[in-house]
């Protein structure tokens, strides 16, 4: 186990490095930040001055070397747009995203497993059909649609919730609600599908035959086996939120990492882009590690 | 890096904070929900968080809306209604000779950090703006291509000599925000100024709070505290005034501006136009450019894709600008005539069938995509072959600015230009001089008129600019001017505040009153 | 005796089809889904030929025409858009690009991700270490940056958007396949096949793929919706497909400012996305049941009831 973790840590470090190299060079392909930073009518000397100040005149490989050297000292560079350390900017935003992702995924996972399993118990029954139908409609509706309709309904017309922003618990309800819809539909479907297979499989039948007849026990047996693909999808959806729930963050004015990332990409604020990617990548690596550990817990035949 | 340790520390705190955060929120909820702000507080919603709170960046709209004249003041203030200049930190100014101006500075003014305002502060503010140790937008935008030599005569008298001579130097000084002379050559995280407000809180990504100063030199404004929030979505911003969460939204969408009691249209000093690249056939032919102008049904845009209050344009600058030529009228919509002109050109061997690329920028202004699509069809209807390409901002700027690519095809570029400073000089060289960075042609004759206008003062100056405008619109048919644009604001009914053309670049809290 | 086998095979084939047909008839929802999907596919193939011009023709003075008004022609039955173009005609034409983008991305991602997953799951060597880490890298590479790079370097064409979306969806197939393989390869029948000396390839294609395919299919049908919405979100952020090209996602996002004043602009294309997804899922649920010998009775019983 310990050697597995060490190995995994090294592997992740290499992946991270690979990611940094890819992002550094690929993002540089999208042009020079000078024109974006300075007004359209800035003079040529002002542009030259800007390039010199931020070291943009050096060959790319020199810039990369400098970046790596700084990185080795845990210096992630400074945001060109914000004139502040890039890592500070990213961590401020990531804090929000992390909380949002954690709450949303917990709520989603619990409700999807409960509803999905219940649906699988009576395939084609009323509960199954209703749950499938509505979760799918929810999962396939554009999120900005749901968000704006929710604001019009709950804030403007009913006055129950604040439109946007942060501050109180009430502010979190709509963003989480909107983020909830899609992963819920997806995970519910996978849970349902897996459970149908698992409930029909030999060992559940065996369990039944052996007389472990009570529903809860069958449920637990089947669920345990059905969880493998479910966990993968949960991981995928959590990664999507950790990478930034851009649409939700944009509409609800939520200061998360997704909005920061898209803004920085569009403004060519490379230091922030790189720092944001490293922070989110690290979070995703840790999450994937947890998922792999969960695999082996659920299925003892899987060993690392 | 000093931040390293902090970073790890922060992460730990983050994890610790989740519970205390939620707990704290719950308490806040229980106690604070009905705690409506004081009646003299206002909440303003901007479309983006401020990237920095540095006073030398106030030419960016949102930074200007928070800082300009609220926190940081200028020597001179531009009255956008009539283009006149009003004293602010300078009590008066006069021209000593052709290239030197003398400013008499206000006495008894103090910065929010307690230090007194004097001539040395102005010198330092200018040095910072044009410094090569930091990149200040004000310096790059307004003080390029000139050197100012500032001589401190005494604490409250300053002589500024410019090279080359700047007849509009006082106007230029309306852009320079004044910071204390102790300010280092790095961006300020806590702006210090002489204005009626100071920044008391900033939570990046969430809010900024300004509170009224007790020791301001001027009249005491009615607003005691202003909170700025940031929401990117037009519909959400508009909804926030409707729900009572906010008082002023400087920018809402045209589609949202439906309530005459709260929603105001105001000219935002922006002008949309198609920059025509005269360097490539068939656009080098004036008949083709005339035909393009006649192909555009400008009326059809108003009240549909663009606000009813927008105006068909004849200039690159808005009507409140010096030298505005009221004799010019927009090209009429005349597809018949346009077709005839193209036929004529074709008969002379001009390749009018060549595919012309229309370059537009994603998100440049509301409905930009739809406007570009509509223009494409209008050009197509008179027989031009126009292909629309939407570009991301960085690439669009490259295409907009020189050097243009060799071997490029014919192209027209949809752009929006902002001139809120009242003088054409801030626009004309960039857009129309032979050397101009975004100029699509070269006319030595026009260059001469513009050079003369720049050096002239008073009525001469206005008359020369007037000639230049006429030449561009009628004789050269240089570009396809589209519209002088308007923006929409929403203001809560309890406030007595009317947005103006200035609202695009500043939002003076001192101008807000309560009904 | 010799001529019988082909004949019986044909009969078998036919009866198999008939069995499927009757099972489809048994599930009315699945039947409706099949019919709807056939309509969408037909639109995608022939719509652009007939309606391209109508769908692009603007009329600024007649913009945002309300729906259910036949006086302007059937194409305006669902209303007009912000440039006065008929929404119904546009939705039909846009089906082409939408299906290309969604179908292309999902199939490409499933093929690449599934193959890599198979390799990683079956290999005990270095590939088993490296490939999942590749998934990590892709998962953490922001799709938005990828989209901006494509938009800047190449052009926002249908083909390039497919590449962007396909790349971002690879990890889910890769990880799912890999995880399932890890589990399946320990099962009795696979071990038995191994003991009996079946080749590696035969085990993968004959024994493993059939077991994991239903799961992959479930994910793919769900992903179809996800990709359509991701494409819409890219448009929302201004880095997706650009006009004059049209997709449902782009129509939804362009109609967004009018949600409160002219709901039909984004509602109909949104509904098209929802219905397509719903149909695909109903179909895939039906297929899981119909293909699974242990579950098939549900449909057969249903058939008898209805019959």
- B411-418 and B355-361: which strand pairing? parallel
Inform me whether the C-beta atom of residue C63 falls under 8 Å from chain B C-beta atoms. yes
Element (H, E) at B492: none
Question: Where is mean pLDDT largest: A93-97, A148-152, B191-195, C91-95?
Answer: B191-195
> Chain A partners of B3 at a C-beta cutoff of 8 Å?
75, 85, 87-88
> Nearest Cα to A230, choosing from A280, A143, A294, A181?
A294
Q: Which residue of C has its CA nearest to A183?
A: C226
Give CATH superfamily name and number for A86-298: MetI-like (1.10.3720.10)
- Please tell me the distance in Å from B372's CA to the nearest CA on chain C: 9
Whether residue B27 is predicted with pLDDT greater than 70 in this model: the reply is no
SS3 B306: strand
Q: What is the mean pLDDT of residues C77-91?
A: 83
Residues of C in contact with B256 (CB under 8 A): 257, 260
Judged against a pLDDT cut of 60, whether residue C3 lies above it is answered with: no
* C73 Rama sector, left if φ>0, alpha if ψ -120 to 50, beta otherwise: left
Residues 6 or more apart in contact with residue A304 via CB below 8 angstroms: A1, A4, A292, A296
Structural domains of chain C sorted by starting position, each given as residue range(s) with its CATH number in brackets: 55-306 (1.10.3720.10)
Q: How far apart are CA C131 and CA C171, in angstroms?
A: 10
The closest of B426, B416, B450, B312 to B83, measured between CA atoms, is: B426
Q: Cα(C187)–Cα(C202) distance, rounded to whole angstroms? A: 16
For testing contact with chain C, the best of B377, B381, B396 (most C CBs within 10 A): B377
Q: What is the DSSP string of C77-120?
A: TT-B-TTS-BHHHHHHHHHHHHHHHHHHHHHHHHHHHHHHHHHH
Subunits next to B (3 or more Cβ pairs <8 Å) are A, C
State residue B86 phi and psi, 5-degree precision.
-120, 145
Considering chain A, what percentage of its residues have pLDDT values greater than 70? Answer: 91
Tell me whether C298 touches chain A (CB under 8 Å). yes
Measure CB to CB from residue C257 to each of B255, B301, B395 and give the nearest one. Answer: B255
Quickly count: other Cβ atoms within 10 Å of residue A220's Cβ. Answer: 12
How far apart, in whole angstroms, are the C-alpha atoms of residue C39 and residue A70?
58
Is the Cβ pair B304, C243 closer than 8 Å? Answer: no
A161 with C248: CB under 8 angstroms?
no
pLDDT digits (tens, 9 = 90+) for A82-121: 878 889 889 988 988 999 999 999 999 999 988 988 888 7
- Comparing CA positions, the residue from B207, C245, B285 lying closest to residue A167 is B207
Do B221 and B196 form a contact (C-beta atoms < 8 A)?
Answer: yes
Of A180, A28, B462, whose CA–CA distance to C149 is shortest? A28
Contacts of C41 (CB under 8 A, 6+ apart): C99
Q: What is this model's ipTM? A: 0.81
Confidence bin at B23 (pLDDT 50/70/90): very low
At C4 the pLDDT is 44
Is residue A265 a contact partner of residue A27, using CB atoms and an 8 Å limit? yes
Q: Which residues on neighbouring strands pair with residue B415, listed in sequence order?
A: B273
Which residues of chain B are within 8 Å of residue A151 when distances are taken between CB atoms? 235-236, 239
CA distance B350 to B441: 18
Count other Cβ atoms within 10 Å, centred on residue B283. 22
pLDDT at res. C153: 76
Using pLDDT thresholds of 50, 70 and 90, give the confidence band for residue C8. Answer: low
B259 touches chain C (CB under 8 A): no
Distance CA C98, CA C250 (A): 9
C210, burial (CB in 10 Å: exposed 0-12, middle 13-18, buried 19+): exposed
The pLDDT score that the predictor gives to residue B188 is 87
- Model confidence at B384: pLDDT above 70: yes
What mean pLDDT do residues A271-284 have?
88
A139 touches C: beta carbon within 8 Å: yes
- Euclidean distance between the first and final Cα of chain B, in Å? 52
CA dist A166 and A163 (Å) reads 10
Within 8 A of C151 by CB-CB distance, chain B residues are 392
pLDDT tens for B45-76 read 998 888 889 999 898 888 999 999 999 999 99
H or E element in which residue C212 lies: helix C209-236
Lowest mean pLDDT among B90-99, B361-370, B487-496, C222-231: C222-231
Give the mean model confidence (pLDDT) for residues C241-266: 84
Closest approach of chain B CAs to the CA of A171, in angstroms? 10
Q: Say if residue B451's pLDDT is above 80.
A: yes
Are the C-beta atoms of residues C232 and C211 closer than 8 Å to each other? Answer: no
State how far the Cα of A166 lies from the Cα of A172, in Å rounded to an integer: 7
Judged against a pLDDT cut of 90, whether residue B360 lies above it is answered with: yes
Angstrom CA distances, B162 to A140, B74, B175, B426, stand at 63, 18, 16, 17
- Block residue for tokens 């709170």: B53
pLDDT-derived band of residue B32, with 50, 70 and 90 as boundaries? very low
Task: State the smallest CA–CA distance between residue B84 and chain A in angstroms.
Answer: 24
DSSP B326: T
**Model confidence over B198-230: pLDDT tens digits?**
999 998 888 999 999 999 999 999 999 999 999
Contact by Cβ (8 Å): B234, B45: no
Give the model's pLDDT for residue B2.
Answer: 34
In B332-447 the beta strands, taken as DSSP E runs, fall at 355-361, 385-391, 411-418
CB contacts, 8 Å: A14 with chain C: 133
What count of other Cβ atoms lies within 10 Å of the Cβ of residue B151? 13
- Three-state DSSP string of C108-162: HHHHHHHHHHHHHHHCCCHHHHHHHHHHHHHHHCCHHHHHHHHHHHCCCCHHHHH
Domain limits, chain A: 86-298
Q: How far is A215 from chain C (nearest CA, A)?
A: 20
Backbone angles phi, psi at C288, to 5 degrees: -55, -45
Run of H or E residues at B464: helix B458-470
> Residue B12: beta bridge partners?
none
B319 vs B316: CA distance, rounded Å: 10
Q: Which of residues 85-114 of C touch B (CB under 8 A)?
A: none
| The predicted structure's pLDDT at residue C117 | 87
With an 8 Å Cβ cutoff, are C244 and B376 in contact?
Answer: yes
pLDDT at C48: 80
With vertex at residue B118, the alpha carbon angle to CA B117 and CA B121, rounded to the nearest 5 degrees, is: 85
What is chain C's alpha carbon radius of gyration, rounded to the nearest angstrom?
23
**Chains in contact with A, counting 3 or more C-beta pairs less than 8 Å apart as contact:** B, C
Cβ of C268: how many Cβ atoms within 10 Å? 23
Residues of chain B with pLDDT > 90, as a percent, come to 57
**β B147-154/B157-163 pair status:** antiparallel
Residue of A nearest to B232 (CA): A250
Rounded Cα–Cα distance for residues A285 and C116 (Å) = 19
Q: Cα–Cα distances in Å, from A68 out to A55, B237, C142?
A: 14, 42, 21
Of the pLDDT bands very low, low, confident and very high (cuts 50, 70, 90), residue B331 is very high
Strand B385-391 to B355-361 pairing: parallel
Q: What is the pLDDT at residue B8? A: 31
From chain C, pick out residues whose CB is under 8 angstroms from the CB of A152.
259-260
Q: Are B284 and B278 spatial neighbours (Cβ–Cβ below 8 Å)? A: yes
- Looking at residues B313-341, what average pLDDT do you find? 92
3-state secondary structure of C47: helix
- When CB atoms are compared, the residue of B51, B239, B400 closest to A156 is B239
Q: Hey, CA dihedral for A102, A105, A111, A114, is it positive or negative? A: negative
What pLDDT sits at residue B20?
A: 38
Residues of chain C neighbouring A239 (CB-CB closer than 8 A): 139-140
Mean pLDDT for A53-65 is 85
Question: Are B300 and C60 within 8 A, CB to CB?
Answer: yes
* Residues across chain C: 307
- What confidence category does residue C307 fall into, taking pLDDT thresholds of 50, 70 and 90? very low
Of all residues in chain A, what percent carry a pLDDT higher than 90?
5
Please spell the DSSP secondary structure of C161-194, one letter per residue: HHHHHHHHHHHHHHHHHHHHHHHHTTSHHHHHHH
Answer yes or no: are the C-beta atoms of A272 and A199 closer than 8 Å.
no
Nearest-by-CA chain A residue for C143: A243
The pTM assigned to this predicted structure is 0.83
Q: Per-residue pLDDT averaged across A224-230, rounded?
A: 79
Spell out which residues of chain A touch residue C256, defining contact as CB-CB under 8 Å: 144-145, 148
Q: What is the pLDDT of residue A211?
A: 65
Q: Is C94 left (phi over 0), alpha (psi -120 to 50) or beta?
A: alpha
Instruction: Please state, in angstroms and rounded to a whole number, the distance separating the CA atoms of residues A197 and C216.
Output: 14
Pairwise CA distance, residues C56 & C243, whole Å:
10
Instruction: Please report, rounded to a whole number, the percentage of residues in chain B having pLDDT higher than 70.
Output: 93
In this predicted structure, the answer to whether residue B19 has a pLDDT above a threshold of 60 is: no
* Higher pLDDT, residue A244 or A286: A286
Per-residue confidence (pLDDT) for residue B1, from 0 to 100: 33
Which member of A236, A284, A302 has the closest CB to residue C136?
A: A284
Write out pLDDT tens, residues C151-170. Answer: 777 777 888 889 889 988 89
Asked whether the predicted pLDDT for residue A217 surpasses 80, the reply is no
Mean pLDDT of C139-160: 78
C293 pLDDT band, cuts 50/70/90, is low
């Amino acid at each position: 186990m310990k050697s597995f973790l060490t190995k995994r840590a090294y592997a992740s470090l290499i992946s991270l490095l690979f990611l940094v190299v890819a992002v550094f060079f690929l993002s540089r392909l999208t042009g020079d930040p000078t024109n974006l930073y300075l007004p359209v009518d800035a003079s040529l000397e002002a542009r030259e001055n800007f390039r010199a100040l931020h070291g943009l005149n050096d060959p790319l490989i020199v810039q990369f070397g400098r970046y790596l050297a700084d990185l080795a000292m845990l210096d992630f560079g400074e945001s060109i747009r914000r004139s502040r350390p890039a890592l500070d900017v990213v961590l401020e935003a990531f804090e929000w995203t992390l909380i949002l992702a954690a709450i949303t995924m917990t709520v989603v996972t619990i409700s999807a497993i409960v509803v999905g399993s219940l649906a699988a118990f009576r395939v084609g029954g009323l509960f199954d059909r209703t749950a499938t139908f509505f979760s799918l409609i929810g999962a396939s509706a554009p999120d900005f649609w749901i968000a704006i309709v929710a604001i019009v309904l709950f804030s403007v017309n009913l006055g129950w919730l604040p439109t946007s922003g942060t501050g109180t618990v009430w502010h979190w309800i709509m963003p989480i609600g909107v983020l909830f819809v899609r992963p819920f539909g997806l995970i519910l479907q996978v849970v349902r599908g897996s459970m149908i297979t698992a409930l029909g499989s030999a060992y559940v039948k065996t369990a039944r035959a052996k007389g472990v007849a009570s529903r809860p026990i069958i449920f637990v047996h089947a669920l345990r086996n059905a969880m493998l693909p479910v966990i993968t999808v949960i991981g995928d959806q959590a990664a999507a939120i950790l990478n930034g729930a851009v649409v939700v963050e944009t509409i609800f004015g939520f200061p998360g990492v997704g909005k920061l990332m898209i803004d920085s990409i569009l403004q060519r604020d490379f230091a922030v882009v790189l720092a944001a990617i490293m922070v989110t990548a690290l979070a995703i690596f840790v999450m994937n590690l947890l998922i792999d550990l969960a695999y082996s817990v659920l299925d003892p035949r899987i060993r690392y | 890096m000093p931040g390293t340790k902090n970073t790890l520390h922060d992460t730990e705190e983050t994890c610790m904070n989740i519970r205390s955060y939620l707990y704290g929120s719950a308490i806040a909820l229980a106690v604070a929900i009905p705690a409506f702000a004081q009646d003299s507080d206002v909440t303003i919603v901007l479309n983006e968080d401020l990237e920095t709170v540095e006073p030398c960046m106030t030419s960016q709209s949102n930074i200007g809306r928070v800082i300009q004249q609220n926190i940081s003041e200028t020597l001179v203030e531009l009255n956008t209604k009539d283009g006149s200049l009003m004293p602010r930190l300078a009590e008066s100014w006069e021209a000593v000779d052709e290239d030197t101006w003398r400013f008499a500075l206000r006495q008894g003014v103090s910065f929010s950090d307690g230090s007194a305002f004097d001539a040395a502060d102005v010198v330092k503010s200018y040095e910072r703006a044009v410094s090569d140790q930091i990149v200040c937008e004000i310096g790059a935008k307004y003080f390029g291509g000139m050197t100012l030599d500032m001589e401190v005569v005494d604490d409250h008298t300053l002589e500024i000599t410019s090279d080359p001579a700047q007849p509009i130097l006082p106007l230029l000084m309306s852009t320079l925000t004044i910071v204390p002379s102790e300010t280092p050559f790095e961006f300020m995280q806590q702006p210090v100024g002489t204005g009626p407000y100071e920044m008391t809180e900033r939570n990046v990504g969430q809010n900024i709070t300004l509170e009224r100063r007790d020791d301001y030199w001027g009249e005491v404004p009615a607003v005691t505290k202003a909170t700025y929030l940031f929401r990117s979505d037009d519909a959400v911003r508009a909804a926030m005034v409707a729900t009572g969460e906010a008082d002023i939204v400087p920018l809402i969408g045209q589609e949202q501006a439906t309530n005459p009691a709260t929603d105001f249209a105001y000219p935002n000093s922006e002008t949309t136009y198609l920059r025509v690249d005269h360097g490539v056939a068939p656009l080098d032919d004036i008949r083709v450019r005339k035909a393009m102008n006649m192909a555009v049904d400008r009326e059809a845009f108003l009240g549909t894709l663009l606000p009813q209050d927008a105006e068909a344009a004849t200039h690159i600058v808005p009507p409140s600008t010096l030298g505005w030529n009221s004799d010019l009228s927009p090209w009429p919509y005349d597809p018949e005539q346009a077709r005839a002109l193209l036929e004529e050109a074709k008969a002379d061997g001009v390749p009018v069938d060549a595919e012309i690329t229309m370059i537009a920028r994603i998100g440049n202004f509301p409905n930009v995509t739809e406007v570009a699509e509509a223009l494409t069809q209008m050009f197509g209807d008179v027989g031009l072959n126009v292909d629309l390409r939407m570009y991301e901002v960085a690439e669009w700027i490259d295409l907009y600015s020189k050097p243009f690519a060799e071997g490029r095809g014919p192209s027209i570029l949809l752009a929006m230009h902002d001139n809120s400073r009242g003088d054409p000089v801030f626009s004309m060289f960039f857009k129309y001089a032979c050397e101009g960075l975004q100029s699509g042609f070269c006319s030595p004759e026009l260059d001469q008129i513009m050079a003369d206008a720049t050096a002239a003062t008073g009525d001469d100056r206005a008359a020369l600019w007037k000639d230049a405008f006429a030449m561009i619109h009628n004789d050269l048919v240089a570009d396809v001017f589209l519209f002088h644009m308007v923006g929409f604001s929403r203001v809560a009914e309890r406030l007595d505040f009317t947005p103006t053309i200035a609202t695009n670049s500043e939002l003076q809290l001192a101008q807000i009153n309560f009904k | 005796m010799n001529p019988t086998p082909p004949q019986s095979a044909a009969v078998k084939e036919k009866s198999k089809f008939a069995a499927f047909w009757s099972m489809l008839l048994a599930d009315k929802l699945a039947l409706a889904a099949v019919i709807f999907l056939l309509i969408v596919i037909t639109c995608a193939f022939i719509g652009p030929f007939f309606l391209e011009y109508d769908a692009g023709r603007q009329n600024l003075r007649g913009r945002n025409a309300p729906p259910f008004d036949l006086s302007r022609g059937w194409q305006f039955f669902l209303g007009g858009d912000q440039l006065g173009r008929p929404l119904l005609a546009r939705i039909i034409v846009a089906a082409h690009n939408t299906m290309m983008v969604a179908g292309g991305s999902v199939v490409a991602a499933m093929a690449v991700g599934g193959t890599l997953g198979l390799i990683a799951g079956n290999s005990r060597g270095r590939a088993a270490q490296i490939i999942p880490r590749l998934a990590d890298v892709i998962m953490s590479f922001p799709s938005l940056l990828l989209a901006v790079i494509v938009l800047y370097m190449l052009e926002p064409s249908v083909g390039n958007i497919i590449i962007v979306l396909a790349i971002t969806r690879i990890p889910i197939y890769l990880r799912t396949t890999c995880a399932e393989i890890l589990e399946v390869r320990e099962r009795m029948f696979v071990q038995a096949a191994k003991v009996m000396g079946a080749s590696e390839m035969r085990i993968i294609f004959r024994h493993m793929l059939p077991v994991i395919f239903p799961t992959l299919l479930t994910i793919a049908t769900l992903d179809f919706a996800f990709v359509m919405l991701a494409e819409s979100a890219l448009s929302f952020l201004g880095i997706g497909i650009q006009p004059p090209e049209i997709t449902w996602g782009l129509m939804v996002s362009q109609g967004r400012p009018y949600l409160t004043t002219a709901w039909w602009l984004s509602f109909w294309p949104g509904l098209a996305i929802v219905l397509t997804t719903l149909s695909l899922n109903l179909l895939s649920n039906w297929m899981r049941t119909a293909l699974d010998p242990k579950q098939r009775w549900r449909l057969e019983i249903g058939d008898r009831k209805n019959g």
